């Protein structure tokens, strides 16, 4: 049977997009499935993935992965049933054998009287045999899930894209964080506390902590100066208020 062509793959993808499950048949290259068995295509990946065709074989609930060479759209012809064997001729009945004539007894000079036959001892009837316990019916051997999983081909894991986490400190010592995945910004700049940045830097690496610590110290010093300035302004305002009160 011929494997799937590019046109047939395109047709299968169109049928899946339309909400139907196309029928395919397995070729002799299929692993773990009998040749000529049918199945339903439930998903179609990219050819570069190798076994990119997800098929549920007929009569099974498992979904297995196959390549384009393992399935076909050509329905295999039905196998012709073997002709019935002619009935066996009855065996000929054996003819009864003709009994051979008994040999003549030689004349005895004088026949001895037959010895008295002792009566046979009464034979005790044999005890009836106890019926043997019927053999327990063999449990129907169900295919374990491990066998189905062993035949199933492992799916190839898709590569995980990288991400970039950026911490930024402005001139006022305020920190923000943003996250990008490739060219797409996942998290826009979001304010974070300076102490959280310091703890994260210590948890990551000593070099990272050493690079971030001067920035944290500068921000701390800047806030300290601002507090002193506000205190001075508050004291001057309080003095002016006191003068107005007098």
Cβ proximity of 70 and 37 under 8 Å: no
Q: In this structure, is residue 42 part of a structural domain?
A: yes
Residue 63 structural domain: 6-72
pLDDT tens by residue, the chain, 246 residues? 677 888 999 999 999 999 999 999 999 888 888 898 999 999 988 887 778 899 999 988 898 999 888 989 888 887 665 566 666 665 555 555 555 555 555 444 444 444 444 444 444 545 555 545 444 444 444 455 556 555 666 666 666 667 888 888 887 778 899 888 777 787 988 998 988 988 998 898 888 988 888 888 888 888 889 899 999 999 999 999 998 986
Cβ proximity of 18 and 42 under 8 Å: no
pLDDT reported for residue 141: 46
Q: In this structure, is residue 18 part of a structural domain?
A: yes
pLDDT reported for residue 55: 92
pLDDT reported for residue 110: 46
Q: In this structure, is residue 102 part of a structural domain?
A: no
| Both tokens assigned to 120 | 């046979």
pLDDT reported for residue 116: 45
Q: Read off the pTM.
A: 0.33
Per-residue burial over 141-171, b if 16 or more Cβ lie within 10 Å, else e, is eeeeeeeeeeeeeeeeeeeeeeeeeeeebee
The count of domains in the chain is: 2
Q: In this structure, is residue 158 part of a structural domain?
A: no
């Amino acid at each position: 049977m011929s494997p799937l062509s590019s046109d047939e793959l395109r047709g299968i993808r169109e049928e899946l997009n339309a909400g139907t499950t196309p029928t395919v048949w397995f070729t002799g290259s299929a692993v773990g499935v009998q040749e000529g068995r049918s199945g339903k295509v439930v998903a179609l990946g990219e050819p570069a993935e190798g076994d990119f065709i997800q098929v549920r074989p007929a009569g099974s609930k498992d979904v297995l992965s196959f390549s384009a060479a393992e399935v076909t759209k050509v329905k295999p012809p039905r196998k012709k049933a073997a002709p019935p064997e002619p009935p066996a001729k009855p065996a000929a009945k054996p003819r009864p054998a003709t009994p051979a004539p008994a040999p003549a007894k030689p004349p005895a000079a004088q026949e001895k009287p037959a010895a008295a036959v002792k009566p046979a001892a009464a034979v005790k009837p044999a005890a009836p045999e106890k019926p043997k316990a019927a053999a327990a019916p063999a449990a129907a051997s169900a295919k374990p899930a491990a066998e189905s999983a062993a035949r199933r081909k492992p799916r190839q894991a898709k590569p995980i894209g990288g991400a970039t986490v950026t911490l930024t400190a402005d001139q006022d010592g305020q920190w923000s964080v943003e996250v990008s995945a490739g060219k797409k910004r996942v998290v826009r700049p979001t304010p974070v506390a300076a102490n959280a940045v310091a703890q994260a830097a210590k948890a990551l690496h000593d070099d990272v902590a050493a690079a971030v610590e001067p920035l944290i110290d500068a921000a701390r010093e800047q806030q300290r100066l601002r507090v002193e300035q506000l205190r001075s302004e508050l004291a001057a305002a309080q003095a002016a208020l006191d003068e107005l009160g007098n």
